[in-house]
């Protein structure tokens, strides 16, 4: 019984560290492999969480800004307007 508890005390943190390391590596690789920002046709301008299951997002696509809601049921287009001028 003591041997089992000793193995558990050693292996449980080790497995946690391996999982944490895998997540960090995946995030780093995703940033490197992703396409360049200028090459994308769709850009997310802004997002807002309304509830744990509902999010509003403003997407820019071909000079238009599109307001969509994202929920478990899918995406719904709510409004569309010309894109605003970029202020830098």
**Residue 81, pLDDT score:** 92
Kindly state the average pLDDT of the residues 60-65.
91
pLDDT in tens, 18-60: 999 999 999 888 877 765 555 678 889 999 999 999 999 999 9
- Domain residue ranges of the chain, discontinuous segments joined by +: 1-34, 37-88
**Residue 83, pLDDT score:** 84
Distance, in Å, from the CA atom of 80 to the CA atom of 20, rounded to the nearest integer, reads 41
Q: What share of the chain is helix, strand, coil (3-state, %, to 5)?
A: 40, 40, 20
Please give the model's pTM, rounded to 2 decimal places.
0.53
State the residue for tokens 């997310």: 44
**Residue 30, pLDDT score:** 81
pLDDT band (50, 70, 90) for residue 74:
very high
Which is more confident, 86 or 62? 62
């Amino acid at each position: 019984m003591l041997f089992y508890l000793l193995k558990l005390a050693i292996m449980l943190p080790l497995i946690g560290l391996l999982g944490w390391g895998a997540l960090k590596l995946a995030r780093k690789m995703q940033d490197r492999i992703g396409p360049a920002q200028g090459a994308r046709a769709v850009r997310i301008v802004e997002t807002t969480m309304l509830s744990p299951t509902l999010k509003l997002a403003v997407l820019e696509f071909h000079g238009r800004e599109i307001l969509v809601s994202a929920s478990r049921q899918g995406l719904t287009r709510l409004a569309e307007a010309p894109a605003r001028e970029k202020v830098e």
